[in-house]
Amino acid sequence: MTQSPAIASVLDGLVDMHVHSGPSPFPRRFDHVEAAQDGARIGMRAMVAKSHHHNTQMDILAMKGRLADVAATAYGGVALNSTVGGLNVHAVRMCLRMGGKVVWFPTISSGRHIECHPEDGAFPTTTVPLTLERIDIVDEDGELKHEVIEILDEIKAQEAVVNGGHMYPAYIRTLFQAAHERGMTRMVVSHPDFVIGADPDLCRELIDLGAYVEHEIGMYDPEGTQKWDPRKLLTWIETLGPEHTVLASDFGQAANPKPVDAWMRVAGALLDLGLAEKDLRRMVRDNPTYLLNLDA
């Protein structure tokens, strides 16, 4: 495998849009500050802290003092699950107007996720007992609920990212169609082949609407819990194109390695399989930099 210093050089300036640092009701390996600090090993420029349960931008602001001397900038976002009131435009407004960057539509509260994980959305078990309600973005007639339109308008106004969460592929398409009609260009579908079940043809439809497809390198780390073959990831990249792809870690769980270690291993595997360095940089640096509007 390519040696670590060479990999770190290629990853320099990386932006990780999917870090599961703490606090969280799920067991986490470290907090947001420690995650950002560890990113120095690969010259990480920025990261987005994701929680399935709460608005992480308030965590980031509370940790401002500890983050002051950290090179990487940490941002938060909000996932529209039942613990924040579901499709709650007020929660979205607060998060984004306080500096948050990403709104994930229902993840553990989505019908698709609950079908895959009927054990009350727990993967793993939460550290405290929590309740979970299913949140759908469409009404009985299959039309987007008015709350969704309000939320999209707020996301557009704040130039933030709309993420399809863990919803059914058809719901994500409906959501992104509405976003596209509003001129929104910062759309992301995460791990299409995990929980969601979006095939390459559906992903192409989403790309045509302006979306980026995010793949999680943590799922391809041989020391992680998934251990998928990196050749599968390379096939996705070649099929959809690096210009439409974002790579993120999706790590920070207590049972998994640190995101930086996964980045090194999986990036090295992709380079060894023949992925061009420029394509890797585009997916880990350029595309997420655009999505988070970091050069504005």
- pLDDT value at 234 more than 60: yes
Report if residue 54 sits inside a domain: yes
The percentage of the chain sitting over the pLDDT mark of 70, rounded to a whole number, equals 97
Given CA atoms 195, 196, 197, 200 in this order, what sign does their dihedral have? negative
Domain holding 227, by residue range, is 4-291
Give the model's confidence band at 3: pLDDT under 50 very low, under 70 low, under 90 confident, else very high.
low
Report if residue 296 sits inside a domain: no
- CATH of residue 195's domain is 3.20.20.140
CB neighbour class for 151 (10 Å; exposed up to 12, middle 13-18, buried from 19): buried
Report if residue 53 sits inside a domain: yes
Segment 166-188 shows an average pLDDT of: 98
Report if residue 132 sits inside a domain: yes
Q: Number of folded domains in the chain?
A: 1
Report if residue 19 sits inside a domain: yes
Residue 162 main-chain phi, psi, to 5 deg: -100, 120
Q: What's the pLDDT tens digit per position in 95-150?
A: 999 999 999 999 999 999 999 987 655 567 899 999 889 999 999 999 999 999 99
Q: Which two tokens stand for residue 53?
A: 């349960």
- pLDDT value at 40 more than 90: yes
d(CA 174, CA 208): 13
pLDDT at 124: 73
Whole-model pTM: value is: 0.96
